[in-house]
Structure 1
Amino acid sequence: MYYLIYAVVPSGKVGDVIRATESAGSYGGTVIHGKGIGRTPKRFLRFEVEPMRDIVMIIVQEAKYKDVSQAIYSHLDMAEEGTGIVFAEVLDQVEGLVSQSKR
C-alpha cells in the first residue's frame, strides 16, 4: 500500500520539504504552485497581497508514511501558525513508481 503525502507550505520552502523527506528515506516528489485563500489577504500600500503557496506531493510506501510526514511536520516547525500543513491519503493503486531508495 502507498500513501500520497501533501505538504502545503509558503512559497520558497520546497527545498526544506525535500530535505525533510530525504532525511526520512524518501526521494523525489512533485511541486504545484498555488495561492492560499483561507485567510483575509494582507494589505500593503492599498494593495492586497495574497500569500503564495507550494504544494509538494510525495508518494511513499506505507512503512515510510509516518516517518516522512513527521519529518516534514517537525523540520518545517508546522506547530507554528502559517508555516504549512501536511496530510495524506491512501492510494488504492500505483503503477510505474521507481524504487524509493537513493540512486
Structure 2
Amino acid sequence: MGNMYYLITIAKREYGEDFIEFFYESGVHSLTAALCEGTAQKKTLDLLGIEKTEKIMLSAVVPGSLAARLLRGQMRTMQIDVPGNGISFTIPLQCAANSLSLQYLTQGQKTEQNEVMEMEENRFSLIVVIAQKGYTELVMEAARSANAGGGTIIHAKGIGEKNAAPFFGMSIASEQELIYIVSRQRDEKNIMHAIMEKAGSKQDRVVAAFSLPVNQVVGLRSLLDD
C-alpha cells in the first residue's frame, strides 16, 4: 500500500461543485464530502461583518501518480494556491481491509505497480483535535500561540462514551468538534502541547489530539513559503 494516498481537499463551500466536477473529470469517482467551517478569529469576522466561513471537505483514496497530478491540477485549474481558496494534501495509506475495499475506493482509476509519488517526505503534519462543542476558539488561540495557522472545524458526536449522560434510559452522545490543523512538522509537538496545556482541562474541553504525516500540500501559501 506504499503507493496509495488519502487525498483531502478543503475549499470554500461555494466552490464545492466545481471541485467535485474537477475530480470526476480527473478519474476520481469515489469521493466523500463533508461540510465544515473555517477558524477565522471572531474579532476578524466581526470587523468584516461576516459569519464563519463555510467550507467543504472532499476526500478520496488515489494512487501516487494520480495524487501528484491532482495536486498540480488544483493549482493550475482550481487556483487552490490563491490565498483563501483552500488547501489540499495527501496522507500515506497504510493498508486496506481487502481487495474489494480498495476497488471501491479507487473505482474507475488506473493504478500502476510500484509507482512512486516524487516529493519531499514528511515536511508537514495534520493535527487532529477532538474538543467539546464551543471550545474551538480556545483551541485555536492555543494553537496559534505555538505558530499554527488556520484550521477547519468538522461537527461530530461522541459515540460509545462510557460517561455519556443517560436520558430516558438512553445514552446521549456529546456534541464534539474535530479541528484539522495542517502544520510544519517541526511545530507539531509544540502546537499539541500548547493545545493540551492551555485549552485542555478537567472538564474535558479537549478530549484528545494526535497527528498524521502529510507528505505533500498545496494551497495555504503562508505555510509553504518557509
Same fold (TM over 0.5): yes
Of 165, 188, 191, the match for 1:42: 165
Distance 1:97 1:55, change over 3 A: same
1:4 aligns with 2:4: no
Tell me if structure 1 keeps the 8 A contact 2:126–2:183: yes
Identity, % of aligned positions: 28
- The residue number in structure 1 matching 2:213 is 90
SS in 2 for 1:99: helix
- The residue number in structure 1 matching 2:136 is 14
Q: Which runs of 5+ in 2 are unaligned?
A: 1-122
Residue correspondences, number:
98
Of 176, 188, 195, the match for 1:65: 188
- Extract structure 1 runs of 4+ deviating beyond 3 A: 80-83
Deviation at residue 13 of structure 1 after TM alignment: 0.8
- The residue number in structure 1 matching 2:145 is 23
1:54 aligns with 2:183: no
Please state which structure has a larger fraction of its residues in helix: 2
Q: Which runs of 5+ in 1 are unaligned?
A: none
Deviation at residue 9 of structure 1 after TM alignment: 0.5
In 2: Cα distance, 1:99 partner to 1:67 partner = 18
Which residue identity is paired with 1:89? L
- Larger Cα-atom Rg: 2
- Which structure ranks higher in relative contact order (CA pairs < 8 Å, sequence separation ≥ 6)? 1
Which residue identity is paired with 2:145? S
Of 12, 17, 33, the match for 2:155: 33
- Give TM-score scaled by structure 1 length: 0.84
Aligned Cα root-mean-square deviation (Å): 1.8
Which residue identity is paired with 1:31? I
Deviation at residue 54 of structure 1 after TM alignment: 0.2
